[in-house]
Amino acid sequence: MSRDLTIFVCQACAYESPRWVGRCPNCAEWNSLVEEVRAQASTSKRERRKQTRVKPIPITEVETSAGVRMATAIPELDRVLGGGIVPGSVVLVGGDPGIGKSTLMMQMAASLTQQTVLYITGEESLSQVRLRADRLMPKPHDRVLLLAETDVEVVEQILEQAAADLIIVDSMQTMHHPDLESAPGTVSQVREVTSHFMRHAKAKGVSVFLVGHVTKEGIIAGPRVVEHMVDAVLQFEGERHYAYRILRATKNRFGSTNEIGIFEMHDGGLREVANPSAVFLAERRADASGSAVVAAMEGTRPLLVEVQALVAPTSYGVPQRTATGFDGRRLQMLLAVLEKRAGMHLGQYDVFVNVAGGVRIDEPAADLGMAMAIASSLRDVPVRADAAVIGEVGLGGEIRTIHHIEKRIAEVQKLGFKQLILPRNNAQQIRTGQKIILTEVETIEEAMRALLQPNGGAK
């Protein structure tokens, strides 16, 4: 009853078509359909039904393995994982090529001194991996086993003999299952390889880290189709030209997805950044116009970042608006609010905004800081050097309440700022006894009066 079926699968979105088309009808990607052969299941439904041996059991009788997480000795990684590696979990680690995924995986392997780690490399030769590992801190120990193999069935046989506590697959796009005719990295191969390692992980209680490359659009093509299968998806991000790398959980069955880990790339591999706020503010020129400090939150952690704006007269017909690390539509909105509610005429100006250090901030609490940076640049008056800003800007020019106010204040205080501009409603929730001046504002104009004084920078 076995019959092979040829289908065409979009490598960007996994859409399936019975015939080839030049453009995917689902995601509109050009030339993304690849022929794949799918072997039909030979067991009939009835046969399968007979094989079923499992039966429902009360939830209270289910055994758990809670509390036995493996700590990796890399606190930033543990935090993102939700407190260490859960045995039997499958984690997908995605990121651009060259961002440092292999480095992070090797450092994790090296830090697990009590466990046997199997590092399966499909991209680099054994000696290349060894060369890189020799430069890293900490250096790997002899319980880190290397294997250069891309056939999952061979890997399976090896795992029967050499039991490992943790398996790292670098990368999943180079692995293949011999029964499938499609090339490694195609949607069906990636699916098959993932389910292979999933079965192994769940049966043996071994944790598996699958490394996957993302495309330039920022989505994990190929690996994206397995996001729903795995237990956690970690995204390793950063601007290639900056040393900072941010590890973010976009899915986590065993913890929060809000946490991030911040690393810096050195000669000796990735190093944790202990005080990220200080690092991100280190190069700030406080006397220049167009710069403001925002007390942002990354997960449960406050982070002070510098937002910058440059407003310059347009030399072409249509004014440009360019945002790096900040949402472009949010920028348009802020410009419209500044125009309408604060009487700033920006129609003849190009506006460029940037978040320093290659950081990306998505929360509305950064609105007011960005608006102040824009106003500061337009008027060419610096923002008060010792003040930080938080607040969401509404369409009416009103400053709206934000969350986690206490943590943000604590961070602002810790970094030696003397003043915080915050929404009025937030100011009223705060207990007295703060060491810094809290300036409450209700409208964008009030904030400008508080921050952009003619002697703003001098103090």
What are the CA-CA distances from residue 281 to residues 136, 224, 248 (Å)?
A: 28, 35, 21
Output the smallest distance, CB 66 to ligand TYD, in A.
Answer: 32
Give the relative orientation of helices 328-341 and 444-451 as an angle to the nearest 10 degrees. Answer: 90
The residues that bridge with 211 in the sheet, in sequence order, are 93
Residue 182 makes contact with Mg ion by CB under 5 A: no
Output the smallest distance, CB 186 to Mg ion, in A.
Answer: 20
Distance of CA 414 to the CA centre of its chain: 26
Closer residue to ligand TYD, CB minimum distance, 130 or 329:
130
3-state secondary structure (DSSP) of residue 152:
helix
Output the smallest distance, CB 268 to ligand TYD, in A.
Answer: 6
Closer residue to ligand TYD, CB minimum distance, 102 or 182:
102
- Of 32-40, 51-59, 102-110, 422-430: span binding Mg ion (CB under 5 A): 102-110
Q: Which of 340, 399, 336, 345 is nearest to 367 (CA)?
A: 399
What are the CA-CA distances from residue 289 to residues 112, 298, 378 (Å)?
A: 48, 26, 9
Closer residue to ligand TYD, CB minimum distance, 247 or 292:
247
- Total chain residues near Mg ion (CB under 5 A): 1
Output the smallest distance, CB 276 to ligand TYD, in A.
Answer: 19
Closer residue to ligand TYD, CB minimum distance, 133 or 337:
133
Output the smallest distance, CB 285 to ligand TYD, in A.
Answer: 27
Output the smallest distance, CB 248 to ligand TYD, in A.
Answer: 15
295 close to 302: Cβ distance less than 8 angstroms? yes
Closer residue to Mg ion, CB minimum distance, 32 or 171:
171
What tokens appear for 31 in the block? 């030339």
With CB under 5 to 8 Å by kind, the binding choice for 177 among ligand TYD, Mg ion, none is none
With CB under 5 to 8 Å by kind, the binding choice for 404 among ligand TYD, Mg ion, none is none
- Of 34-42, 69-77, 100-108, 126-134: span binding Mg ion (CB under 5 A): 100-108
Output the smallest distance, CB 125 to ligand TYD, in A.
Answer: 13
- Of 11-19, 98-106, 310-318, 359-367: span binding Mg ion (CB under 5 A): 98-106
* Backbone phi, psi, residue 416, to 5°: 85, 15
Closer residue to Mg ion, CB minimum distance, 102 or 354:
102
What are the CA-CA distances from residue 155 to residues 109, 197, 201 (Å)?
A: 18, 10, 13
- Of 99-107, 356-364, 433-441, 446-454: span binding Mg ion (CB under 5 A): 99-107
What tokens appear for 30 in the block? 């050009």
Closer residue to ligand TYD, CB minimum distance, 25 or 98:
98
Q: Which of 107, 93, 229, 237 is nearest to 171 (CA)?
A: 93
Binder of Mg ion out of 102, 111, 291, 439 (CB under 5 A): 102
83-96 b/e with 16+ CB inside 10 Å = b?
ebbbbbbbbbbbbb
The residues that bridge with 294 in the sheet, in sequence order, are 305, 389
Output the smallest distance, CB 247 to ligand TYD, in A.
Answer: 12
**Helix residue ranges per DSSP H, 320-419:** 328-341, 367-379, 405-414
With CB under 5 to 8 Å by kind, the binding choice for 135 among Mg ion, ligand TYD, none is ligand TYD
What is the C-alpha to C-alpha distance for residues 170 and 16, in angstroms, rounded to an integer? 27
- The residues, ordered by sequence, that sit 6+ positions from 346 with a Cβ below 8 Å of its Cβ are 311, 319, 335, 338, 339, 374, 378
Residue ranges binding ligand TYD (CB under 6 A): 95, 97-103, 132, 135, 265, 267-269
Closer residue to ligand TYD, CB minimum distance, 132 or 321:
132
Question: Which residue of this chain has its Cβ atom nearest to Mg ion in the complex?
Answer: 102
Closer residue to ligand TYD, CB minimum distance, 105 or 375:
105
Output the smallest distance, CB 270 to ligand TYD, in A.
Answer: 8
Closer residue to Mg ion, CB minimum distance, 167 or 356:
167
Handedness of CA 254, 170, 120, 273 (dihedral sign): negative
What is the C-alpha to C-alpha distance for residues 354 and 300, in angstroms, rounded to an integer? 23
| Chain residues that interact with Mg ion, rule: CB under 5 A | 102
